Amino acid sequence: MQNFAYLLVEEKSKEAMGVDSGWETAPIVKVAKENDMRVRYVCATHSHYDHVKTIDALAKELGAETVAHERAPLSPDVRVRDGDALRLGESEVKVIYTPGHTEDSVCFYDGRNLLTGDTLFIGAWGRTDLAGGSAATLFSSLHDRIMKLPRDTLIYSGHDYGEVRFRTIGEEAKKNPALLARSGDEFARLTQD
């Protein structure tokens, strides 16, 4: 399913957080250990199986706490909501609630990088036809939340579906049909194609 899993690290302290555990833990643990990271959190962008299958195992292997949105049908160590921040050393990673793909979808934003899970892909967007999905809600999350961030923010999505692995919001705003849609109705028509 071409899932991405991420380790976001604060360079000075080497404190890190994993975002979406994916299918296997060994590669993530290896990178964390090789780079002397102290992983504090393993976070879920949303509760779909392909993103959280190994979340508990990964957290246990890394000595980290699991994190998910308060609406997630999971049992995390830490429940977060919109506007919460996770500390990594001297930095904070902000939780941005972006429902629409699921009712518990969140993005993680460190002031430069935005880890979007399945809310926004490079050139595409998350499905809205699964349980908890809503085209109107996703349109709002994309336009009222993500598009309000600085244009030089780098987008890192939950799957490798695009022509490149990351892109700025400014670049994506010129190419992604979901971000070019001018209304919820126009976006809803895109989701039905």
* Tens digit of each residue's pLDDT (9 = 90 or more) over 78-101: 999 999 999 999 999 999 999 999
**SS3 for 191?**
helix
Q: Check if the beta carbon of residue 32 is closer than 8 Å to that of residue 190.
A: no
Q: What is the pLDDT of residue 1?
A: 62
CA dist., res. 21 & res. 59, Å (int): 9
Hey, which CATH number is domain 6-192, 1.10.1040.50, 3.30.420.40, 3.60.15.10, 1.10.10.10?
Answer: 3.60.15.10
Q: Domain extents for the chain?
A: 6-192
CA dist., res. 6 & res. 17, Å (int): 8
Strand 154-157 to 113-117 pairing: parallel
Q: Check if the beta carbon of residue 117 is closer than 8 Å to that of residue 45.
A: yes
Q: What is the pLDDT of residue 124?
A: 95
Q: What is the pLDDT of residue 58?
A: 97
Phi and psi for 121 in degrees, rounded to 5? Answer: -110, 170
As given in the structure block, the two tokens for residue 97 are 């609630």
Regions of the chain with pLDDT less than 50: none
Q: What is the pLDDT of residue 162?
A: 76
Positive or negative torsion for Cα 165, 68, 88, 31: negative
CA dist., res. 4 & res. 158, Å (int): 5
Q: What is the pLDDT of residue 2?
A: 80
CA dist., res. 124 & res. 172, Å (int): 9
Query: Average pLDDT of the chain?
Result: 95
